[in-house]
Amino acid sequence: MANENATPTPTYEPGTRNPYMPYVATVVEVVTETHNIKTFRLRLDGEGVHEAFDHKPGQTGQLSVFGVGESTFVINSPPTRKDKYIQFSCMRAGEVTTALHGLQAGDKIGVRAPMGNSFDYDAMKGKDIFFIGGGIGMAPMRTLLLYMLDNRKDYGKISLLYGAKSPEDLSFAEDREDWLKRDDMNTYLTIDKEAPGWEHKVGLIPHVLEAIGPSPENCVAITCGPPIMIKFVLQALNKLGFKPDQIVTTLEKRMKCGIGICGRCNIGGKYVCIDGPVFTFEQLSQMPNEL
Amino acid sequence: MNAQNKFISRAKLADWLKELSSRFEVWAPRKEGEGARSVVVYRPFEAEKGLELDRKPTESAKHTMFPRSETLFNFRRNLVEGAPSLELEEAADPAPRLVFGLLSCDARGFQIFDPVYNGSGTNGQAKDTYYLKRRSSTVLIVKSCSKVLSTCFCNWVGGGPASTEGADVLATEVQDGFLLTPVSERGAAVLDSSLLAATNSDMESAAADSQTKAAAALPAAPDLKESQSALLGKFDNAAFWQAESSKCLSCGACTYLCPTCYCFNISDEAAGYNGVRLRNWDSCMMPLFTMEASGHNPRTPKMGRLKNRVGHKFSYYPSLHGGRIACCGCGRCIKSCPSSVDIRRIVTDAIGFTETVGLKEQNNG
Ligand SMILES: Cc1cc2nc3c(=O)[nH]c(=O)nc-3n(C[C@H](O)[C@H](O)[C@H](O)COP(=O)(O)OP(=O)(O)OC[C@H]3O[C@@H](n4cnc5c(N)ncnc54)[C@H](O)[C@@H]3O)c2cc1C
Ligand code: SF4
Ligand code: SF4
Ligand code: FES
């Protein structure tokens, strides 16, 4: 009478890692980036735990402020620079992010990471890379950009267009100084409106992008930012001749478990927490339209 | 396994469950409330509160494996000046459980949870240790279903009133008691009791008879293999979803009663320096389910949410899990929906054969 095709009942194997249990970490430094973005540099507690931590550019993590909750953020420091800390930059948006903004060096925090897929940096070897970031969208790209700079000879021309509303809304001041100085990458900064003392570009990111006019030849465009920016950047890239499989982005969805179980972040049969957050526009075009 | 079939009389059933209570936390259906307002619910067994094995349980047995609210871990913060510390303590392992009298469709529901919570069917591969610990220590005694309702359609989705899928023991009602058929080894182990009697050929044939009768009472099953592509094909058809969801109130009753809905939320509760991280049932029918901090919500209109509920069960889940439909046909969402939304109809409308299938418009009001 037993159904031959029935799947066997799964069993619990003692010692299986509990994926809901965060690592405890210590805040080593907090950097105020803008009026609503702070960067948190964390070191995982416990002997050898931080050293054993391994992630890939594009992967995310869940940060816990115990008693308030958990939220999703991109690990925005590359694996090539994690000896002292791993880094997350968080924009104040609601409950958890407001609590995060109250943390200081020495405070304890929970980290579940790494999660999700990553940028396909191996497939990008030998290609020109054009980064286009708006606002907090610079966070996921920072990881990949630094990773590529640390493996500079593997990649062709590297360019960055990074924009925000005003000079005060641009994050990563230290990085920006370095990026502008380097002769192995082109850095373009832009703000929406003219501001006193501003020496860089002025104008919305999609317009500035069109004016720079990168060639799609052997090039991958990577773009992260608010949905409205992505929409117009996509149009600009299309005009420049970029094909959907040459354009890479990261998606945002409300998340909870981060491990493909709680059912919150799906687009059809894809779960952004495990199948993403990195997708090409070619992949997105094959998914149900529910962004 | 026929040789090991056993018989438990109605008169001795409570004693047997009491006996099992020394080894298991026993759960069974009982009636709560009176008259027309009463419901049948699964609760920890208490002999004096009785059993209700004749009426169909109003709710599914999902919470016996996946509690409505569950502690993941405790945390303790010590905010000592200069050296703050934090301790996390995982929730204690669950006690072994035995659920008596769940329906065959409910047992199949857990099989739909399994590949998700076991990480075997996803890219994440994460194992939900809380679920797995409970799943592997819980014995399921399934009651073969003898009351087919107009809302039942287990046979459309691969089940049947006497399906043993997911069961450890199958209990079939016969004269004055139940015939118990062991399905798994741990099922056979619980049938070792002096309160149980040997079966005779009359009981065996009565049990087989009642199983056949129940199966025959179900309407013919249409082939739903096209539901995967049909629902995806309708994804951008707003007029279709508007029409299908027009009656829906977004109350979420369907998801809470459903044995195959498994979405949850994670949240913290703290008092002073101590607190707990909890997981609670959640519902994709709720507008806030997908609301992002920016205010953006990919499923603002209710049709987007109903589309996700039906799409997940009849299209996305099957596409990830070898074609298996993530609905066990229990019909609770149809029976208990205040607006008579009928999930069968949405699927057959999407495929385009509602007429052929002969479904009538439900009216629960
Ligand atoms: C893959 C991914 C990467 C992200 N990376 C970053 C980053 O590097 N920096 C950054 O500042 N922000 C990032 N976000 C957005 C960030 O997760 C939300 O801003 C944050 O969760 C808001 O939490 P809150 O508690 O302050 O807001 P509330 O509105 O109080 O939210 C309550 C809860 O809802 C959930 N939630 C709400 N909005 C979102 C959202 N957009 N995404 C996921 N969960 C949400 C969270 O679980 C949160 O705890 C990312 C989101 C995703 C999905
Ligand atoms: S029970 Fe009915 S009305 Fe309530 S959310 Fe489900 S389909 Fe909508
Ligand atoms: S979707 Fe409805 S019929 Fe299917 S398992 Fe859930 S409650 Fe039962
Ligand atoms: S966040 Fe839980 S499934 Fe993706």
Instruction: List, for residues B233-251, the tens digit of each pLDDT value.
Output: 999 999 999 999 999 999 9
Question: Is the entire prediction scored with pTM above 0.90?
Answer: yes
Peptide bond into A277 cis (omega under 30): yes
Find the mean pLDDT for residues B281-308: 92
Query: Of the ligands numbered here, which is closest to the C-alpha atom of B289?
Result: 1
pLDDT band at B3 (very low <50, low <70, confident <90, very high): low
Token representation of residue B309: 């509920």
CB B346 less than 6 A from any atom of ligand 3:
no
Contact flag B118-A10 (C-beta cutoff 8 Å): yes
Distance B109 CA to ligand 1 centre (A): 32
Contact flag B312-A263 (C-beta cutoff 8 Å): yes
Nearest CA to ligand 2 atom 6: B254
Find the mean pLDDT for residues A14-18: 89
Name which residue leads in pLDDT, B8 or B37: B8
Contact B93, B83 (CB under 8 A): no
Give yes or no for A106 touching B (CB within 8 A). yes
Nearest CA to ligand 1 atom 47: A71
B192-214 residues labelled b (16+ CB within 10 A) or e (exposed): eeebbeebeeebbebbeebbeeb
DSSP summary character for residue B124: S
Q: Average pLDDT, whole number, for chain B?
A: 92
- Residue A7: per-residue pLDDT: 65
Find the mean pLDDT for residues B52-81: 92
Q: Is A230 left (phi over 0), alpha (psi -120 to 50) or beta?
A: alpha
CATH number for the domain whose boundaries are A23-114: 2.40.30.10
Mind giving me the DSSP string for B23-71? TSEEEEEEEESSGGG-EEEEEE--GGG----SSPPSS-SGGGTS-SEEE
CB B306 less than 6 A from any atom of ligand 3:
no
- Residue A6: per-residue pLDDT: 54
Nearest-angstrom CA–CA distance, A37 and A160 = 20
User: Nearest CA to CA, how far is B205 from chain A (Å)?
Assistant: 14
pLDDT band at B363 (very low <50, low <70, confident <90, very high): low
User: Nearest CA to CA, how far is A186 from chain B (Å)?
Assistant: 31
User: Nearest CA to CA, how far is B359 from chain A (Å)?
Assistant: 27
Report whether CATH 3.50.50.60 matches the domain A128-250.
no
User: Is residue A221 pLDDT above 90, yes or no?
Assistant: yes
Which backbone phi and psi does B337 adopt, to 5 degrees? -70, 125
Question: Could you give the percent of chain A with pLDDT greater than 70?
Answer: 98
Contact flag A269-B320 (C-beta cutoff 8 Å): yes
Residue in B241, B250, B332, B347 to alter for ligand 2 test, most ligand atoms within 8 A of Cβ? B250
Domain residue limits, chain A: 23-114, 128-250
Domain residue limits, chain B: 6-76+88-217, 227-351
User: Is residue B2 pLDDT above 50, yes or no?
Assistant: no
CB B252 less than 6 A from any atom of ligand 3:
no
Which backbone phi and psi does A243 adopt, to 5 degrees? -90, 155
ipTM value for the complex: 0.93
Lowest mean pLDDT among A60-74, A252-266, A269-283, B114-128: B114-128
- Residue B120: per-residue pLDDT: 81
Cβ neighbour number for residue B128 with a 10 Å cutoff = 28
Report the atom number in ligand 1 closest to the C-alpha of A96: 25
CB B254 less than 6 A from any atom of ligand 2:
yes
User: Is residue A4 pLDDT above 70, yes or no?
Assistant: no
Token representation of residue A73: 């953020």
